[in-house]
Amino acid sequence: MRALTFEPGKKGTLKVEEIPDPERKNGDLLVQGVALGICGTDRELESADYGWAPPGKSRMVIGHESLGRVLEVPDGSAYSVGDLVVGVVRRPDPVPCGACAHGEFDMCRNGRYTERGIKEIDGYASERWVVEAGYAVKLDPSLESVGMLVEPTSVVAKAWDHIERIGARAWFEPRTVLVTGAGPIGLLAALLGVQRGLEVHVLDRVAEGRKPALVADLGATYHAASNLDDFHDDPPDIIVECTGVGELVLASMTTTAAAGVVCLAGLASQGRTHRVDGGLINRDIVLENDAVFGSVNANLRHFRAAADALAKADLGWLERLITRRVPLERAEDAFAHGDDDVKVVIDLTV
């Protein structure tokens, strides 16, 4: 079968190649790959900024935003042939740490977790793949064209879950949320904010193209800006920072209402320095009881919440997030990111 593989730690090594069919072990599902979403992490893997090969191997199959159709199931399985499924990204560390032992492998404490397509386990960019039934999530059949959005949605479902848990430390009835960044993660975070009945604002430096329209069609307000000046007079209750841009990360920490919650969900590149007034940041956070926290990855509960959220969303709007679909044979084209691209998807069936 064909698969998209790369050599972690080495730039420019992506290629579509023939590899042996996966072997289904007891308890696994055999799945036909339907599509795969590409994100910033995949681009980092491609440019050798991130990623670890499986022990004893130099190449691995990329891909963690999966979508497939079940081909074979174990006896007595809750899955049926033909079910639409996605595979979970992370697996618990082998110890396991307390969090992994409790199914919260997204909160792994010792860093020895593994991740499909990213850290030490083959990913989902192949014509067929296997997944342990306990790490698969069944989707509503209506999500066939957009199901690869479940994984990025799981990441923001976790962010929202933790925002609400942190908020619940005291009386919490948030009214407004600001999402910085109108890429896939930002737009999906905004969707989940709208589904919670919040007044949603989305900020992105792009002033034209499909992002403003996607935000408006969600019933949210778009701000074309590179700073948070618009929000000084009426700061939001919650910020979901999805850009990883240093200036916005720092500004978000001092631009919430009292008892504000700031979730850092974007990843910055290292090496740029900023002059900051540490005392001002300290005073703002302490005197307002604010909370700033980071969020990565997602556990099974978040994948299920993501699948439910997408099934409730407007399908036409979700389809507009997918701005390009490229066949597996031309998979490399998916790694170039145009300014107006939101989500680029590899079609594993052609």
- 3-class SS of residue 287: helix
Least CB distance from residue 328 to ligand BGC, whole Å? 20
Scan residues 59-98 and list those touching ligand BGC (CB under 6 A). Answer: 64, 89-90
Does position 296 interact with ligand BGC (CB under 6 A)? The reply is yes
Q: Which is nearer to ligand BGC, 240 or 251 (CB)?
A: 240
Q: Which is nearer to ligand BGC, 84 or 149 (CB)?
A: 149
Residue 314 to residue 145: CA distance in whole angstroms: 12
Does position 155 interact with ligand BGC (CB under 6 A)? The reply is yes
Q: Which is nearer to ligand BGC, 49 or 329 (CB)?
A: 49
Does position 243 interact with ligand BGC (CB under 6 A)? The reply is no
- 3-class SS of residue 310: helix
Residue 130 to residue 29: CA distance in whole angstroms: 5
Does position 299 interact with ligand BGC (CB under 6 A)? The reply is no
> How many positions of this chain bind ligand BGC (CB under 6 A)?
11
**Contact pick of 14, 31, 36, 39 for ligand BGC (by CB under 6 A):** 39
Residue 82 to residue 280: CA distance in whole angstroms: 57
Does position 100 interact with ligand BGC (CB under 6 A)? The reply is no
Does position 297 interact with ligand BGC (CB under 6 A)? The reply is yes
CA distances, 90 to each of 79, 103, 106, 116, 155 (Å): 21, 11, 7, 6, 12
Q: Which is nearer to ligand BGC, 241 or 290 (CB)?
A: 241
Least CB distance from residue 89 to ligand BGC, whole Å? 4
Given strand 291-294, what is the order of strands in its sheet? 221-224, 199-204, 176-180, 238-241, 261-264, 291-294
Q: Which is nearer to ligand BGC, 231 or 303 (CB)?
A: 303
Least CB distance from residue 45 to ligand BGC, whole Å? 9
Q: Smallest Cα–Cα separation from 160: which of 298, 34, 17?
A: 298
Residue 152 to residue 50: CA distance in whole angstroms: 18
φ, ψ of residue 53 to 5 degrees: the values are: -75, 160
Q: Which residues bind ligand BGC (CB under 6 A)?
A: 39, 41, 64, 89-90, 115, 118, 151, 155, 296-297
